[in-house]
Amino acid sequence: MTISIMANTDILLRFGERVRELRKKRGWTQEAFADYCGLDRTYVGGIERGERNVALRNIEVIAATLEISISQLTKSL
């Protein structure tokens, strides 16, 4: 029995899916979102695909851009 649909998959994939979900909910493209974050478009793409082991400072930037706390951003992980 699973707690969440994202349980038991890699943390980077789960984080990426979460970011993508929240970004899309706001109707933003990857490119626009990357601009808001002050990050490169391809870097954000890599995060959403679970290829980047994002560090705390960028996690903070992403949460701030989504206007939620880091705790909320990592809620379902």
Q: How many CB atoms lie within 10 A of CB 55?
A: 8
Determine which residue in the list 7, 11, 40, 49 makes contact with a copy of itself, applying CB under 8 A.
11
- 42: contact with a copy of itself by CB under 8 A: no
Closest CA to 19 of 38, 46, 42: 46
Distance CA 4, CA 17 (A): 13
Which listed residue (7, 21, 49, 75) binds DNA by CB under 7 A?
49
19 contact, one of a copy of itself, DNA, none, CB 5-8 Å limit per kind: none
**12 near a copy of itself, judged by CB under 8 A:** yes
